[in-house]
Structure 1
Amino acid sequence: MLICFLTLVALIPTSSSINPGVKVRLTEKGLEYGRVLGIAALQQKLKSIKIPDFSGKQKVSPIGKVEYSLTNIQIVNVGLPQSSVALVPGTGVGMSVANALISLHGNWGVKFLQVIKDSGTFDLNVNGLTISTSIGIKSDAMGRPEVSSGNCAASVGSARVKFHGGASWLYNLFSQFIDKALRNAMEQQICPLVSKAVSDLNPHLKTLNVVAKVDQYAEIEYSLVSSPNISKPAIELNLKGEFYNIGKHQEPPFAAAAFSLPQQNNKMLYIGISAFTANSAAYVYNKAGILSLYITDDMIPKGSPLRLSTRTFGVFVPEIAKRYPGLMMKLLVKAEKNPITTFEPNNMTVQATAGVTAYAIQPNGTLSPLFVLNVDTSVTTNMVVSGMKLAGSVSLNKMTVTLGTSYVGQFQVRSLDNILQLLMKMVVIPRVNVQLAKGYPLPALGKMSLQNTELQVLKDFMMIGTDVQFKG
């Protein structure tokens, strides 16, 4: 019951209250989609009602005691024309069904005056069935959501019986007790089925990617950091949204700043991803030591006039060609500190500071250092939603180069600007984009897919607005 709704909600606080890196808002449109799927699931559950054979005795004037039996009772149809899901601010979720219909078919038999027997079949239409329940949610031992139903109430309104077979004068006599007996039997079955339908959600909820692996170096944690904010129009969830090194959850030397999602309602779901999440990724990858790259001449397109050699660089720094004539070169580009991501309206920028160390490759393979440059770069980032991942690409915005250390005497660094920019565009940025194109997993449950997705870059965060579809 309410599989989509509760799957989207996952309302479990699993850690102390801190600012989230990721926020998720489920809107009224999302709740309505969940209600439709949930009622369909409940309808299937109610079709599984098993009413056991039962019999009894009833004193009927003027013939005395009548023994009766009802056997092989089957549900043939369930209709749930009216249903609603309501958010109780600060509390939880309530669900109700009204004016439901259940149709049954079975066999009846009677015996009276010790020897007289009669039997036949019957069809029973039960109208005015109402169901109401609340849904309680808690955390399991692994910090994933676990649901249960509470305060369930079910009542059956009127019942209309149509008998087939047997003596017609028995029908009215028999109907005096069949209505009450079957209504009681159904009422006793409904709430346990509702409870079972809710508990059947737990295997689905356990698919929540609380820790989502990104690659061999990093994973993202999507546990909740505070209780959900439940209000009349929406439910807002606060997720940690933090990258960690695989198997080592060490907090970065910075914390998430507070941010708020704008009040938009045309999508089922909104996901806000803060700069903290992006910056925690940079911290993790830098700590893993992979924000570095050796650039060699074979990485440069063959048709390029730029070659990574002392001859090329000697044009701009003559001392290089003089001391190391005719040698190939190698550059080590390495982040000197964590790249910083900032979000401004319609603009996501990453600022990075790297050291570029140039080496001449000696005939015996040893490396002779030539110089070290300090390079400050700014790249513009374009993010897209690809399946259940957030992917992206970057393009060079601007770059500033200063000399750090020279082993070939002083020289004008400006003369190398064009070479370094070409190397950034031809080698470094394409490799960064290959990694970004692989994407990073978004918070998800089960066979969830995103539809009609839109992405906005706002102040201090980006926001994904999307509809959601669940496949069985």
Structure 2
Amino acid sequence: MKVKMWLVALLLISVTQMHAEDSALQAVLSQNGLQKASELGTSWLQNHIGRTTLPEVRGKVDIGIGSVEYVLHDMSIQSCVLPVPSVAFSKGTGVSLQVSGISISVRGLWNLHFGIINDDGWFELDVYAISLNTVLQLGSEEEHVSISTVVCSADVGSVHVNFHGGASFIYQPFVDMFSNRIRNEIRAKICPAFQQGIGGLESHLAAMPVAVKMGSYVYMNVSLTESPLIKSTGLELNVKGEFYSITSPSEPPFFPKYFEVPWREDYMVSLGASEFCVNSAAYAFLSAGVLQILITDDMIPKASPIHLNTSQFGILIPQLPKKYPNMPMQVQLYASETPLFSFNKTVINVHLLASAKAFAIGPDSAAIPLFRLDVESSISAKAYTDKQLLKGVLEMKNFTMTLGSTEIGDFPIGPIEGMMKFAVTTLVLPKVNALLKDGIMVPFVTGYNISNSVMTIENGFVAIAADISVP
């Protein structure tokens, strides 16, 4: 149970990311990270072990003049000294774990039956100097992480049992005589109990879904693309990391490429995401119909020189108010193709193709199509991390507009293009850059904070190395 919780903590730190086909997400847990996971798991177990209720124990003891049948029940752990284990990666295998000096104090009730005599009371059981040495093998089975016990040995220093109540003063000398037997029985049960816990963890991992919802519109495939890579300095997990639309899942028209996240042994965790991961998310959101917005006049700032009204648009499109005078307008803005991200050594580039359909709203609230404008734009971003914040700056690299279709006749789009470019460069980007200057919280595993983070943008992927802590 103890080791189970330590391993759960370890896997939770790195399981939201987990090489192939080619993986799109990679995570590296260093020796420092493994030790930190062990410390966190030990602390958690130390705080929760007092709530543990132990199963009853039944048996017989031959005292020379007959056998005493006993039942120990309603047992609970009163205290536990739980040293932080020594953990290390076992190259090519998994994780070795050694812990010594565990002491446990248990309190419970006893019932005895000897001939016609029935007796009961309460007892205290103290177990000292428990040690456990084990090696766990990590692998993959049906795209899940698998875990099994390769080696396990345990020892118990000493055991003291004190009976109270009833005629315990009669039984206590016999209990003392058999304390070494009790010690051997406890020692014999440690590894089977540990292996049972590992088996439970294995079943839990096997049952974990490979499709994880990431909000209301998309999910991500977190299946392993290969077995964990284990070196003496760390553990690498490689995950498919592809996003899909929940309503209309389909493969994107591009493919993952091999990348390798740098192993940063001076940081606890390193995470890497490829262009494919990000672009598959954009494709999934596009397939889900999310990348669009209906713009109405009440969304336009009051200080704007032009509002969504056909008469006001006469300044830009003279024939519009002649055909549809003084009518409110709406604009449906949407991505016409998948926005594509590329990572190019310190710079993130985004290429976006979008369209804007304009409508006049008639007296009967019917939407009358007017024209469609097609936009091609590209933005570059420089980003970095500061503690747990993502900061950076965006820059417009290109913005071009063409008239895609029209129901009101051709018109020059230069003035509209100039107005939109002005709005983006003087209103939209400054607001976004102000937000990025203050920083956006970096998403991470729930319940953990990151510190000492460093973000690097490489060719084809972005990586973050960081230390972890509990709030």
* Fold match (TM-score > 0.5): yes
Tell me how far apart the structure 2 counterparts of residues 215 and 160 of structure 1 sit (CA, whole Å).
Answer: 54
Equivalent pair of 1:455/1:462 in contact (CA under 8 Å): no
Instruction: Name the aligned partner's letter for residue 134 of structure 1.
Output: V
Of 196-205 and 326-335, deviating more is 196-205
Identify the residue that residue 133 of structure 1 maps to in structure 2: 134
**CA displacement 1:172-230 (0-9 Å, x = unmatched):** x998x646423322222221332244345468758967433233321222222211111
What is the number of equivalent residue pairs in this alignment? 437
Tell me how far apart the structure 2 counterparts of residues 350 and 194 of structure 1 sit (CA, whole Å).
Answer: 51
2:272 is aligned with 1:291: no
Equivalent pair of 1:214/1:441 in contact (CA under 8 Å): no
TM-score, length-normalised on structure 1? 0.72
Identify the residue that residue 235 of structure 2 maps to in structure 1: 235
Q: Secondary structure at 1:36's aligned position in 2?
A: helix
Equivalent pair of 2:18/2:26 in contact (CA under 8 Å): no
**CA displacement 1:391-445 (0-9 Å, x = unmatched):** 9997755421233345555544322223223665799989999xx9xx999685x
Task: After TM superposition, give the deviation of residue 254 of structure 1 in Å.
Answer: 1.1
Task: After TM superposition, give the deviation of residue 323 of structure 1 in Å.
Answer: 4.2
Identify the residue that residue 275 of structure 2 maps to in structure 1: 275
Identify the residue that residue 252 of structure 1 maps to in structure 2: 252
Identify the residue that residue 110 of structure 1 maps to in structure 2: none
**CA displacement 1:274-318 (0-9 Å, x = unmatched):** 221211122112223332333332221223222123333322333
Tell me how far apart the structure 2 counterparts of residues 210 and 470 of structure 1 sit (CA, whole Å).
Answer: 27
Check 1:51–1:297 CA distance in 2 against 1; reply closer, same or farther (3 A cut). closer
2:349 is aligned with 1:355: no
- Residues 307-456 of structure 1: pairs in structure 2 closer than 5 A: 307-363=307-363, 365-380=365-380, 398-421=398-421, 444=445, 448-452=447-451, 454=453, 456=455
**CA displacement 1:331-372 (0-9 Å, x = unmatched):** 332322111012234433321112233344445555555443
Identify the residue that residue 112 of structure 2 maps to in structure 1: none
Q: Which runs of 5+ in 2 are unaligned?
A: 109-121
1:90 pairs with one of 85, 89, 92:
92
Instruction: Name the aligned partner's letter for residue 61 of structure 2.
Output: S
Equivalent pair of 2:90/2:232 in contact (CA under 8 Å): yes
Tell me how far apart the structure 2 counterparts of residues 413 and 260 of structure 1 sit (CA, whole Å).
Answer: 46
2:33 is aligned with 1:27: no
2:198 is aligned with 1:215: no
Identify the residue that residue 61 of structure 2 maps to in structure 1: 55
Q: Secondary structure at 1:415's aligned position in 2?
A: helix
**CA displacement 1:35-62 (0-9 Å, x = unmatched):** 22445677759996977665346xxxxx
Equivalent pair of 1:222/1:240 in contact (CA under 8 Å): yes
Check 1:363–1:426 CA distance in 2 against 1; reply closer, same or farther (3 A cut). farther
Tell me how far apart the structure 2 counterparts of residues 293 and 105 of structure 1 sit (CA, whole Å).
Answer: 64
Check 1:81–1:104 CA distance in 2 against 1; reply closer, same or farther (3 A cut). same
Tell me how far apart the structure 2 counterparts of residues 104 and 93 of structure 1 sit (CA, whole Å).
Answer: 30
Tell me how far apart the structure 2 counterparts of residues 295 and 122 of structure 1 sit (CA, whole Å).
Answer: 74
Tell me how far apart the structure 2 counterparts of residues 83 and 361 of structure 1 sit (CA, whole Å).
Answer: 70
TM-score, length-normalised on structure 2? 0.72
Tell me how far apart the structure 2 counterparts of residues 98 and 422 of structure 1 sit (CA, whole Å).
Answer: 68
Q: Which runs of 5+ in 1 are unaligned?
A: 58-64, 107-120
Tell me how far apart the structure 2 counterparts of residues 202 and 392 of structure 1 sit (CA, whole Å).
Answer: 42
Equivalent pair of 2:384/2:456 in contact (CA under 8 Å): no
Instruction: Name the aligned partner's letter for residue 403 of structure 1.
Output: L
Of 94-103 and 243-252, deviating more is 94-103
**CA displacement 1:8-34 (0-9 Å, x = unmatched):** 33799x999321111111122221122
Equivalent pair of 2:161/2:175 in contact (CA under 8 Å): no
> Rg: which structure is higher?
1
Determine what percentage of the aligned residue pairs are the same residue. Answer: 29
Tell me how far apart the structure 1 counterparts of residues 9 and 234 of structure 2 sit (CA, whole Å).
Answer: 15
Q: RMSD of the alignment, in Å?
A: 5.0
Tell me how far apart the structure 1 counterparts of residues 369 and 200 of structure 2 sit (CA, whole Å).
Answer: 65
Instruction: Name the aligned partner's letter for residue 448 of structure 2.
Output: S
Check 1:53–1:366 CA distance in 2 against 1; reply closer, same or farther (3 A cut). closer
Equivalent pair of 2:19/2:238 in contact (CA under 8 Å): no
2:20 is aligned with 1:17: yes
Tell me how far apart the structure 2 counterparts of residues 395 and 260 of structure 1 sit (CA, whole Å).
Answer: 28
Tell me how far apart the structure 2 counterparts of residues 129 and 206 of structure 1 sit (CA, whole Å).
Answer: 31
Q: Secondary structure at 1:18's aligned position in 2?
A: coil
Of 146-155 and 70-79, deviating more is 70-79
- Residues 80-229 of structure 1: pairs in structure 2 closer than 5 A: 81=83, 83-98=85-100, 129-136=130-137, 144-145=144-145, 147-156=147-156, 178=178, 180-199=180-199, 201=201, 210-229=210-229
Task: After TM superposition, give the deviation of residue 458 of structure 1 in Å.
Answer: 0.6
Tell me how far apart the structure 1 counterparts of residues 393 and 217 of structure 2 sit (CA, whole Å).
Answer: 20
Tell me how far apart the structure 2 counterparts of residues 123 and 69 of structure 1 sit (CA, whole Å).
Answer: 19
Tell me how far apart the structure 1 counterparts of residues 463 and 19 of structure 2 sit (CA, whole Å).
Answer: 24
